[in-house]
Structure 1
Amino acid sequence: MSEWRDRRQGASFRGVPFWLDADSVNVGRRTQVHEFPQRDQPFVEDLGRRTREYKFSGFVVGDDCLSQRDKLLTALDTPGAGELVHPWFGRMTVTPGDCEVSHARNELGMVRFSLMFIDGMLAFPVQSPNTRRLLAEQAPTLLESMKARFNAAMGTVDLARQRVNAVRSAVSSAHAFGIGFLKPFTTLAGDLDSFVYSIVNAPGAFSASLLSDISSFERTFSGYGADGSFTGSSSKASAVSSLQASAPVTDNADVAVVQAAVIGLVQDAALLDLLLDMAQVPIAVAEGVNDPADLDVQLAQQGATVEAGSSTVTNVPIADDVLEVRDAISGALWSVAGDSQPEHFGVLSGARLALDRHLTEVARSGIGLRAYVPAETVSSLVLAHALYGDALRSGEIVSRNRVRHPGFVPATELQVAKT
């Protein structure tokens, strides 16, 4: 095994490949020498690392050398920094400097380049909205609007005249949804009878307690993966959208009003729960020119809670998963808003826009998926190492594609991360 053969990569800039004869880069420190009278030794002031300039003597060759030349010229003329793949130093972000292109009569079919790239790019701070905070700030307005919506609906009904059995049947599906999807719900109405009793005797107190418990529920970011903060969000959102349609039909007009109000309250509570969960999801910090901080430091700076040594936060979001959750919750918000009064419709619409902005930014900071078909049945460890150079990512492949045994990944189409 030869190290230089294993590490060598094809040279390219902004994805445009080229061949090279030789390369060089200046290294070392920038210094200022201070010499003093009557002293044999000078004082050398260290001014920092020298700006590295990567210089290449390269060329493009072939029957289509002029087309290759034009592509490389376009890449060199494009403003701003770009990605350089150096044969020996790997990938880096650089800015093109003074470059030359030349043609020779005795080298037809070849165009030579003298290339120079400057390492480093001064990044000025750019103000951008904190989409997490903007989403979290929707909660107080949502909370008040949800209470007002429920109280207004229940205020039109004389609850003292309603038959308990009819109300129980009408709100049974809402109770089942709450038990299945809302953790604080079980402490307030663990069984259907207590749920009906609270609705009939103290509806305002029940709605206030439920929404308050959900808004004050302690939440932490548990990672982008299959066992992280997105777990179950899409299914909960889908259940919210279908809750009204799955409710039993009642002939009593007053009971129908109670049923609609209770279903609306449970839907609102679930949407509030989902929005607060999504407000805990940070935007992954993209790797820039300088070495980034560890991911746990980055997440902590964004307000996320990360357990020391946790492996669930060492990944980045999969854009497809984030967009799927975004669309599911956005659809649920839209379906509930469509059955609401104008005031509540406006509040839900504002929350939906804040959710879309935040999760779109989270998806933009992540990576996409691509289809991949192994040539033969192979172990997930071997496949992960072949795709990413990291066998520890084997669990990602297994969970995403629901592989039955990690030692035998079948030779069928798989969904794998692009990087």
Structure 2
Amino acid sequence: MGTSALALSGAAGGNLITGELSRLLTTAALGGVTFDIIDSREAAGRRVQRFLFPERPVEDQKFQDFGTTDQPIRITGYLAGDDYVLRAQRMRKVFLKAGSQTLVHPWWGRLRVRLIEPGEIQFSATRIRIAQFQVVLVRDPGPSGSKGLFAEITDTLTNLLEEADALVDEATLAVQAVLAPLAIPLALSSMVGSLLSQASGIWDSLTATAPQPLQSGIASAQVTLAAGVSAPVTNADTAYADSVTAALAGVPAAVVDAITDPSTSVIAPAQQVEGETTETVDAQTVANILLSGAVQIGAVADSLSSVTSVPGEALALGVVARGLIVSQLLGAWGSLTFASGADAVAARERFIAAIDALLVDLENAASSGVGVSLSGLWVAVQAARTALIADCSSQVGRLPVVVSVPLKTTVSAWTLAYAVAGDDVTQVQGVFDDLVTRNGISHPALVGPGDIEVLEQTS
């Protein structure tokens, strides 16, 4: 997930430091979806009516001024990256949304706008990983409306992935704002280098004992993070900020990409095979790594803020690093499987705790005096939190219930499994495996006495 760092438009020439500043103005966002802008046109003026009279000289013409007028803003942009289809789906929803929306324009700033014509999204076989779109907007100073948190959410998992992608967008904008000075101060570049270096050490430690497919999948991202990002002499565009964002996001994204499904392939590289067993990476392992990484990198940012002369920026970048991890964590949620509703709720609570910790860090960063707005990031995190709760709630209703069975004497686990499964013998094996694992039973023939948790199956 994330925006493209490619320059999709030609360099401006002549002035503004020979066009260097113009390349800074390439990132925009509409309705929370960031994109690379290549063309923007707008006309503005006054509504003037000209009157000419028959058989009278042109000097006798009259004018009536009806005030100012804003003509439509016509934008052409690109959605580029591995997630370009998902981002195009989000942009399509922006086009369909009623009312005014926020446009972050690289030249005009933050505007409230309305769509007045259907937007067009174009895919092409000659442009893989890029979707082009055109949209026509008008400025709208009126207040925006709110439809509530759960309005029009039909596919909870897709909505969750879209909110996770929106979180990446806001994190990208936040890094660009923090690292915007034309001349990066030494203290700021030093702090960024320390954050990347310590983050690299954390991921190395967390993945040292991970399955081989995961270690292979993240190797390239680890090299990039360990190498760090050198601050340019003149910070004339967003390349430095985008490189920092990519370095922070690379390992978490690669960790999620390493999730494997053992049923989809029977062939693996030799280094991924132990004996006759192919190593796989399950979503729970990935979630545990990301949860630990979020906590430790958040602690690194707190430590850096106490020793650097730019504490606000350190906390802000720490929030971004943690936010990028959380966005990938939400991506891993869709790969998790739950045996019961209680298991889903327990996993949700771990994820919610990570999001709430991110919100605390965000509030601390905002109150530290950092000179950039983090409101967009806060809104994105809250929306992701809501989407996670919604998707978990939809799953809980479809999952079996865990019940507690009091046993007065010792019985066989098989006897208990048959009793719980009832007439459906196809469920016996699943019930047996779950109760042995769930209760930590060392000898299936000796279960009880006491309360035993079992999975209640529905026919």
Q: When the two structures are superposed, what TM-score results if normalisation uses the length of structure 2?
A: 0.46
From the CA coordinates, give the structure whose radius of gyration is larger: 1
